[in-house]
Structures are given as structure tokens and as C-alpha cells.
Amino acid sequence: MFHPRRTIRALLLPLVAGLALLALPAQSATAASTLTNGGFEADGTGTAVPSGWSESGSTAASYVEAGGHGGSYRLSHYASAAYKAETYQTLSGLTNGTYTLTAWVRSGGGQNSAYLALKNCGSSEQRTDLPVSTSSWIRIVTSINVTNNQCTISINSDANAGNWINVDDLTFASGTTGLSIKGSDISSLAKSEAYGGVYKTSSGTTGDALAILKSAGMNYARLKVWVDPADGYNNKTRVLAMAKRIKAQGMKLLVDFHYSDSWADPGKQTKPAAWAGHSYSQLKTDVYNHTYDVLSALKAQGTTADMVQVGNEINGGMLWSEGSTDNWSQLAGLINSGYSAAKAVSSGTQVALHLANAGDDATVRWWFDNAAAYGINYDVIGLSYYGYWHGTLAAAQTTLDDVASRYGKPVFVAETAYPFRLDSDDSLTNQIDTTAELVSGYPATAAGQLAWMNSVANIVEAVPNGRGLGVFYWEATWTAVTGNGWDPTDATSGNGWENQALFGFDDKALSSMAWFSHR
């Protein structure tokens, strides 16, 4: 079992115990415009105050030890009793402009807070929380606009007994980061409202769910479209109506074509009933006509789609069996038909291809290598990433970084979610309903839900060269409302996901909506 704990703690404690609760005086800023000792390699194991850095708070809890990310050493925060520690460095003589701090981090979790900050830079302090990752290093970034020629780089822990973090290989350079997409799928909303669903602000005032989400910072909505669903929802007519509301809120719109009458995902890609007997050649025409029909109607009413998914979680292809990955040339023809239709309506609409399982780099590579070999057209890569199913944050970061670089395309997390509680608000057992299913370090609370979303947002923000576009939550508005279950053919089907909505069982907006205000 991995335990990144202090190995020389017994030797060092007597030396620094007397300083444990004393804040060292802040050192005056020196004329240094580059980060000193960002890899913590200058001093060696046991150094209480790394060269170039200052400390405050429980200074005994901050030290250098062996086991670096890049070099031999790292900075760690750890103490056997509760502690607050800050390790910081002030740079002066900076040319004003935007800068990005990059760092490799690990954390055992459990702190009241553990974050990197850029402060005293002339603009509002910027923070990035450390994700919980007990063995693998994760790269995070924080950017800021420097307006006073200086900036303080700060590593902070407000920790309980036994909590720890590791930080290494910090760099501070010109550049900016942030997410352009802070979105959610709200495909459930129209039917929820029709069946009596209510949405409230955090203080309990009933309101428009979209307006509540917008006020939290949501800027992009995702709507699935089925061809001829049994319940009459999530079809062209309903998408058109919801698109008007989305655009009226000033949000952008992603239209997610399933090319099915019901759910399409890696386990099923069932052709719409109306296309069931069609040849491959006819299916290409079907895809074009359906895609063009929906998107041109959206454009005609002044709500042009900003992004389109040609297929939903198409790891195994779509429109089985003709469009399965057993026949890449046919799958390519079907996808390119959808791409062509989208571009014929609006050349500015971005076309995304969407796979499940961002934790599986090998499969994602296999898929997009084939896409390249067979001439599949697309603009953007979208990946589902559910931490309780799809592997670690570090694995997802590896995939996002790899595909963005390998294919030179922007990437986004098309779906992610996390529970704010484990019990059900209806009779159907929830998909995630036991503590054993949770991601370690992220409790099933609103705070845990927020921490998860910030962690996912942080790894997308850290994709190099600005290629991390953002994140869509799935599914913000799918609360437990009788009649609005998962099965469009069964009005009595329940919802196994209401504990992962962004509205609570009391219909109030959850504090976890704060993730929408991510940088």
C-alpha cells in the first residue's frame, strides 16, 4: 500500500517543534521574475524551508522529502495533528499580463481545503483545489492577470490530523487557462416540468430551472434528440422548444444525435423503427436528412446549434449492425453523412464525436486512429468520464492529454456526474447507491459532488495548448418526478439518477452548482 508519508519525521520533529505554531515573518519580495526552486531539488530531504520559498502557519507541517514527480524531491504538507500551512514565493519585476502556474500534485484528501493560489497580483486571487489522488501525480493549472508587476505563488493546506499533500515541478509562465464550456445536459427538463417537476433556488424560491442554472454560471446546454421516441419527448419538436429557452438565457447549445428512438450507448445502438429495414446506402441518406432537418429547423427559428454530436457514446459504432466498428468504412460513411449535414446548415457549428470511458486511453486511441485511417470528419472529441466506472482522474487526464495532442483537436468531457446522497427519492434503486461505489476521497454529499466536479474541470483546464474546452454535467434537472422515468415506453419507470441531479430532493439548487463558476 502506498503511503507518501514522512520517513524522517522522528529526526526532524525536535528541530522544528518549537516553531510549529509560529508564523515566520513574510520575506520581502525580491527582484525575481522567475520561480526559484520550483522542483524542490535545491536542498534535499528534510529541509523545513525550501530555498526560495517562505512558510507560515504550522511550519513543521511543510517540508521537502524524497520521492519527486520529475526529480528526486518534492514538497509535502503533513502532520499527525490538525494543521494550517502555507508555502509561498513572491515574484516581483513581472511584466504585466496573464500568467499560468502549472504544478504536479497528489493528495490523500480529507482537508478542509488544499489548494494552489495566485494572489497579490493586482487582480482577484485565483485558486485551484488539489484533486484527491493518493498514488498518481496529476497536473493542475491556475492562471491570473498580473497588473502590479508582482505575484505570490501559494501552496495551502487547512488540514485535519494525518492529511497530506505532495506538490512538485511548479512552473510560472505567460499564458492563460480557463474553460469555455461549463455546461449540463438538461434533456429531462421538458418532461419533468410537464409532469409537475419543480425547481427552486437554494433559498427555496420556485423558478425556471434554466435561469437558476444560468445564475450559477452554466453557459452551455446539451439536448439529446431521438428520432421517434415513444413518449414524444426528446424529439425534434421538443428540442426546438427547449432551444428557444436555452438561447434566451444566453447559453450555447449542443445537440446530441442518438440516431435511435431511445438510449444509444456502448451497449446498444438500435436503429430507429422507421429505418429498421433500410440498406446501408439508405441509412446514409436517413442520417443526412434527419440531421439536416433538426438543425435547419433550429437555424430557421434563430437558435442555431453551436455544437453537434454525430452519435452518442459510439465506442462500438452506431446504427447497428451496418454502422458498427466491425465495418469501419460504413461507419465512416454514416458519420460523414451527419457531419456534412451539420456543415450544410451552418459551417460554424462544431461537430463532436463522443466516446464513453475517458479512463481507457488505449481504446480511445484505437477508435480515433481508425477514424483517421477511414477519413472520418470531425472537429472536436467528447468523452464521457464517470469516476466510479471509468478509472482514476490521472487515467482520464492521460487520455485527454494524449488525444488532444495526437489528433490536434480540442477535447471536452461530454458527460460526468457524482451523487450528493445515496438513498432514493423514488421506488427505483439508484445506479450509485453504496459507499463502496464512490470514488475514494469524494463523499456522497453536496460538498463531495462539488469537489468531484472541480477536479474534473481542473484536469480538462490543464490539457496543454488550450485544447481543454470544458465539461457537461449529466444530468442537472433529472429529479424524481412520477412519469419522468428512464424508459420512454413505460410511464411507471423510475429514475435511478435523481441522487446525481444538481437539485436536491427538496427541489432546491445544490451548493455543488458552484462548479459552473469555474474559471
- What residues are labeled active site? 313, 415
Q: How far apart are CA 135 and CA 142, in angstroms?
A: 22
With contact defined as beta carbons under 8 Å apart, do 229 and 490 qualify? no
CA 134 vs CA 111, 393, 496, 501: distances in Å: 13, 11, 30, 28
Phi-psi region for residue 97, left (φ > 0), alpha (ψ -120 to 50) or beta?
Answer: left
- For helices 280-300 and 236-248, give the axis angle rounded to 10 degrees: 40
Q: How far apart are CA 339 and CA 376, in angstroms?
A: 9
Q: Which amino acid is at 162?
A: G
| CB under 8 A, 24+ apart: contacts of 191-194 | 191/231, 191/233, 191/234, 191/483, 191/484, 192/477, 192/478, 192/479, 192/481, 192/484
CA 386 vs CA 56, 107, 308, 468, 474: distances in Å: 38, 20, 21, 17, 10
Q: Which three cell numbers stand for residue 327?
A: 465495418
DSSP class of residue 438 equals S
Q: How far apart are CA 380 and CA 286, in angstroms?
A: 23
With contact defined as beta carbons under 8 Å apart, do 428 and 485 qualify? yes
Q: Which three cell numbers stand for residue 343?
A: 456543415
Alpha helices in 346-376 (DSSP H): 361-373
Q: How far apart are CA 321 and CA 502, in angstroms?
A: 36
Alpha helices in 117-182 (DSSP H): none
| CB under 8 A, 24+ apart: contacts of 433-439 | 433/499, 437/388, 438/388, 439/132, 439/387, 439/388
Q: Which three cell numbers stand for residue 34?
A: 522567475
Q: Is the peptide bond before 517 cis (omega within 30 degrees of 0)?
A: no
Q: In this structure, how many other beta carbons lie within 10 angstroms of the beta carbon of residue 329?
A: 10
Q: Is the peptide bond before 475 cis (omega within 30 degrees of 0)?
A: yes
Exposed / middle / buried, residue 281 (Cβ in 10 Å: 0-12, 13-18, 19+): exposed
